[in-house]
Amino acid sequence: MVIRRLAAYLKPHRKSLLIAFLLLLCGTMAEVWTPKLVQIFIDDYLTPGNFDSTDLTYLAVGFILLHIAAAGFNYFQLVMFNKIAQWIVQQLRIDVFGKVQHLGLEFFDRTPAGSLVSRITNDTEAVKELFVSVLSTFLQNTVFLVGVFAMMFYLDVKLASYCLLFMPVVLGIMWLYRHFSTKIYHISRQKLSQLNAKLNESISGMNIIQAFRQEQRLRKDFSETNQEHYMANVRNIRLNGLLLRPIMDMMYLLAIVLVLYFFGNLSQHSVVEVGVLYAFINYIERFFQPVIQMMLRLSQMQQALVSAERVFELLDDERMAPTQQGESSPEVRDGWIEFNNVSFSYDGETDVLKNISFTAKPGQTVALVGHTGSGKSSIINLLMRFYPNYRGEISIDGASLSAFTDEELRKKVGLVLQDPFLFVGDVKGNIRLANDEITEEQIYEAAQFVQADSFIQKLPKGYDEPVVERGATFSSGQRQLLSFARTIALNPKVLVLDEATASVDTETEEAIQEALEKMRKGRTTIAIAHRLSTIQDADLILVLHRGEIVERGTHQELLAMQGLYHKMFLLQLGGVAS
């Protein structure tokens, strides 16, 4: 199955592959004919003492030309095979990366980032070796073996038939190696993925590791996984040492003994042509040389097949990001949002949301409050259509959430997270995000609107200031302001705010609150808030507890209830709630 799918990547390159194969065929024919010329020289000229200068010149020139032709043909076929391999792996990587871009968040929730990176880089690199090293080697040596046997049968049918008996043994050894090495390579690639995952986790959380003195524990975990990876490789080395070179060398010696015995026995009854003996020994050596090369490449082939299997598992993963359902394509015009008896579970067993119902009218601000794990972020995730398979109904402007196209939903529903993400590039690019519809003037207006323009202008290169990975050179408040500008540049109808002011200082928060007040005008806003002081003017506050809405109302109405919201408010004020 894996080999068939890999072969499918060869179809667009059939013409180039055919040319490369013809060059390979020509190069092989040139190589296998060189021993025949030596045999002719020994038997027809050297042994009888016939040293005709013209004939010998022709033989010498032919011998040299065959070597030059073989070298030339093999060079060009090798270049072509490698080009084809590079094209295939390039396409495979694009396919894998494109697939990852469309996988749902439930996939990323369960897949370590380092393991995923390992599949896209290490495993595709191993597949590349399958096409670059293994495929060309197997093709070249298979054609070469056919040519060698053809010449051996041309010289002596009986002895060639005896030599042919070695082929089932060789194929059996290859099968044994592949059978035992498959499990070892699965373990090796799995442990390599775990190493990458641990490495990625350590680099991402280095500040926490150092702050809580976790260096020794993580070093121990990494060392244990590294040891398991080492042991898997050692087992593979032992398997290589047993089934590859030693057994092949033994087979080669047995073949030489067979040839010498055959000609020794033949010499008792008839004259033995020394040239034929030389040619047979030469062909025996040329027979086992490609066999040994193929055996040595078996380890790469097995590793590549295991890696390809892992890559295709990723390509076949069905946990895709939710997309539009149906043929209708409604538009988000007013931003009327409605949740009707919505329940949801991440694992399919435990509901994190239970019968959630509320309405956010156009221009209203609906705030979600509650303790950690109460379901606030889950409501946001469903509204953004990050997760499928919820029960109940979510609609915008009367149309089911599933009916909207991705383009419409992402353009009209703006998201600002608590931990804003910046891409490598520059400030301007992080606001525009490759959206050609957004002009430079709109970028400047958006930055001024959220009061980010003041700090951007102070940067050495202004809007062209470089942004490193995750915007590490900017403060958390500056990153948040840039994410606000990015959202406002799209001019969305709905704002989704996941504690947008949690990571900024008081002074910056005041500036953002002013911007938020302007942003919310004419837009429906769904906001998660931990600091209750930031949502006191919300039109509706939903208090969540263990996935359920336990209280709802305005700030004053909820305080009058003296329920959970009242207790949370007093705790944040530093008071005592009985």
Residues 222 and 134 reside in one and the same domain: yes
Q: Give yes or no for a contact between 482 and 420, defined as CB atoms under 8 angstroms apart.
A: yes
The residue to which tokens 């993580």 are assigned: 218
For residues 450 and 516, give the distance between their C-alpha atoms in angstroms, rounded to a whole number: 8
Residues 106 and 168 reside in one and the same domain: yes
DSSP string, 77-116: HHHHHHHHHHHHHHHHHHHHHHHHHTB-HHHHHHS-HHHH
Q: Quote the distance between the C-alpha of residue 466 and its chain's center.
A: 27
Is residue 320, in this structure, part of any structural domain at all?
no
> Is the pLDDT higher at 262 or at 191?
191
User: Residue 276 above 80 pLDDT?
Assistant: no
Mean pLDDT, range 512-529, rounded to an integer: 82
Residues 301 and 346 reside in one and the same domain: no
Residues 350 and 381 reside in one and the same domain: yes
332, with CB counted inside 10 A (0-12, 13-18, 19+), is buried
Query: Which residues are 20's β-sheet partners?
Result: none
Is residue 202, in this structure, part of any structural domain at all?
yes
Q: Give yes or no for a contact between 420 and 504, defined as CB atoms under 8 angstroms apart.
A: no
Residues 365 and 241 reside in one and the same domain: no
Is residue 260, in this structure, part of any structural domain at all?
yes
Average pLDDT, whole number, for the chain?
A: 85
Lowest-confidence pick of 84-98, 287-301, 442-456: 287-301
Task: Convert the pLDDT of each residue in 238-275 to its tens digit.
Answer: 877 776 667 777 777 787 787 777 777 766 666 657 77
Which token pair is 227? 């040891």
For residues 394 and 488, give the distance between their C-alpha atoms in angstroms, rounded to a whole number: 24
Is residue 238, in this structure, part of any structural domain at all?
yes
Reference 544, options 335, 349, 366, 347; nearest CA is 366
37, with CB counted inside 10 A (0-12, 13-18, 19+), is middle
Number of domains in the chain: 2
Mean pLDDT, range 90-100, rounded to an integer: 90
Q: Give yes or no for a contact between 519 and 488, defined as CB atoms under 8 angstroms apart.
A: yes
Contacts for 570 with CB less than 8 Å, ≥ 6 apart: 576, 577
pLDDT, position 576? 41
pLDDT, position 352? 95
Residues 378 and 247 reside in one and the same domain: no
Which token pair is 277? 């003996």
361, with CB counted inside 10 A (0-12, 13-18, 19+), is middle
pLDDT, position 412? 92
Is residue 90, in this structure, part of any structural domain at all?
yes
CATH number for the domain including 407?
A: 3.40.50.300
Lowest-confidence pick of 80-94, 159-173, 544-558: 159-173
Confidence of residue 451 (pLDDT cuts 50, 70, 90): confident
Reference 44, options 364, 279, 205, 290; nearest CA is 279
Mean pLDDT, range 141-146, rounded to an integer: 82
Residues 289 and 367 reside in one and the same domain: no
Residues 191 and 82 reside in one and the same domain: yes
Mean pLDDT is highest, among 127-141, 149-163, 373-387, for 373-387
pLDDT, position 578? 39
pLDDT, position 270? 66
Confidence of residue 466 (pLDDT cuts 50, 70, 90): very high
Which token pair is 569? 């408010």
Is residue 5, in this structure, part of any structural domain at all?
no
Among 315, 346, 380, which residue terminates a domain? 315
Residues 94 and 147 reside in one and the same domain: yes
Fill in the amino acid letter for 416: V
Residues 436 and 499 reside in one and the same domain: yes
Query: Which residues are 365's β-sheet partners?
Result: 525
The whole domain housing 467 covers 337-573
Beta carbons within 10 angstroms of residue 200's beta carbon: 17
pLDDT, position 503? 59
Among 315, 347, 374, which residue terminates a domain? 315
Residues 311 and 343 reside in one and the same domain: no
Task: Convert the pLDDT of each residue in 362-401 to its tens digit.
Answer: 999 999 999 988 999 999 999 999 998 899 999 999 999 9
Greatest CA span in the chain, whole angstroms? Answer: 121
CATH number for the domain including 32?
A: 1.20.1560.10
Reference 357, options 549, 200, 546; nearest CA is 549
Residues 197 and 304 reside in one and the same domain: yes
pLDDT, position 442? 92
